[in-house]
Homo-oligomer: A and B are copies of this chain.
Amino acid sequence: MRNFSLGKLFGIRLELHSTFILLIAAITGFLAIFDFPSLVPTLVLLFFLFVSVFIHELFHSIVAISKGIKVEKITLLPIGGISLTEEIPEKPLDEFLIAVAGPMFNFIVVVLIALLLSFFPQLPWPWHIFTDPAAGAEELNQALLDFPLFSLFWVNLVLGAFNLFVPALPLDGGRVLRSILSWRLGFSKATRIAAGVSTVLSLFLFLIGFFSGNIILLIIAIFIYLGAGQENEFAALKETLKGVDLTAVLNKKPLILKQETTLEEAFQLLQKKNQTAFLVETGNGIGFVSVDVLEGIKRSRWPVVNVAEAAAELPKISLTDSPIKIVTKSLSRNYPFTLVYSSGKLVGVIDEEQLRKFLKITKLNKESQH
């Protein structure tokens, strides 16, 4: 299932994650059939969740942009969002400020609503769940449906507190923990420790979720477990790339098919050379044709379409970019090649497969020397 694009804002692409769509669809369907009266209040609650997660991420992004970090896109998940930045902030203080910015928005909403209530105590508000010591989960759930202002308050309180106070990567609390550790220990070691803490926490949350039957907790535990693993891998990659010269994997004389080559001819060549992708000339530069590109075009058209028309775009990097930026860009979204420029001129290409092998060998070389 694919994510749903919501358009662009400040140059940042906005996406709704497929699980968010699935959740809305499932809840709407379920309530429409089995509990029609709660349908509208539940959708209001989901709307508040959506808006709060969105502005939370926007706060992260604005601080990131102000620190000179480009934000590519924001993906909204039901349990929070993810801002995809091109790089992780180098300075611990920057990471700290970016991490706390999101929850700060949620806490601002909470404080504003509290202030509003203190001036207008007659506003509709479920005072009984605060005053009645016997009120439990059921009363809370009912109040969330009955009092929209309260549900906005509650959503922001939970989002802010959960993201800031659980010290697990990839949550904001984990980033705060890492940024503090980074001050003394450096980025790599700080990430290893923070990822270790996250893994232990996720197992703990999983067991609590399992034995108490709390499914949301289980999903969060899995999310943290996988996310912490990714952060750890990224830190290891950064460690591997320290002082590495990537020109070793630069192919200066790559094979590039001429733009008038037909797709059928290109496919014959793929078969003959047992290769899954080729560089091709396009009208205004260089792109690629691969098995995946060919799959999208009817076989009957292969003899009449040329590679320039079918070519897909390639990422571009500069030789002066940092190795970690070059590698993350080259390996993002499984591009087969990356175009390498120096002073505006194409100087060669990096083959994704060659790069992966180079990284494996470099990692072994570094680690074996300790």
Contacts and interface: CB of A to CB of B under 8 A. Distances in A.
Interface in A242-272: 248-249, 267, 270-271
A361 B274 contact: yes
A267 to B, nearest CB: 8
A328 interface: no
Contact of A215 (B210, B248, B274): B210
A128 B353 CA distance: 66
A291 B207 CA distance: 36
A211 B30 CA distance: 9
Interface in A294-308: 294-295, 298-299, 302
Given A291-B364, A295-B367, A364-B291, A274 B357 contact: yes
Given A215-B218, A218-B215, A207 B26 contact: yes
A360 interface: yes
Contacts of A358: 274
Given A215-B210, A215-B213, A361 B295 contact: no
A213 B218 CA distance: 11
Given A215-B210, A274-B354, A291 B361 contact: yes
Interface string A273-289: 01110000000000000
Contacts of A30: 207, 211
A210 B209 CA distance: 13
A332 interface: no
Interface SS of chain A: helix
A334 interface: no
B210 A368 contact: no
A103 B87 CA distance: 53
Contacts of A302: 368
Interface residues of A, number: 35
A357 B213 contact: no
A209 B364 CA distance: 44
Contacts of A38: none
A131 interface: no
A365 interface: yes
A369 interface: yes
Contact of A357 (B214, B215, B275): B275
Interface string A201-212: 000000101110
B26 A210 contact: yes
Contacts of A249: 274
Nearest to A271: B361
A25 B161 CA distance: 32
A296 to B, nearest CB: 10
Interface in A345-370: 353-354, 357-358, 360-361, 364-365, 367-369
A295 B364 CA distance: 7
Interface string A299-333: 10010000000000000000000000000000000
13 contacts: A26-B207, A213-B215, A218-B218, A249-B274, A271-B361, A274-B358, A274-B361, A276-B360, A276-B361, A291-B360, A291-B364, A295-B368, A299-B369
Interface of A: 26, 30, 207, 209-211, 213-215, 218, 248-249, 267, 270-271, 274-276, 291, 294-295, 298-299, 302, 353-354, 357-358, 360-361, 364-365, 367-369
Given A294-B364, A294-B368, A299-B368, 19 more contacts: A30-B207, A30-B211, A210-B215, A215-B215, A215-B218, A218-B218, A248-B274, A249-B274, A267-B365, A271-B365, A274-B354, A274-B358, A274-B361, A276-B360, A276-B361, A295-B364, A295-B367, A302-B368, A353-B353
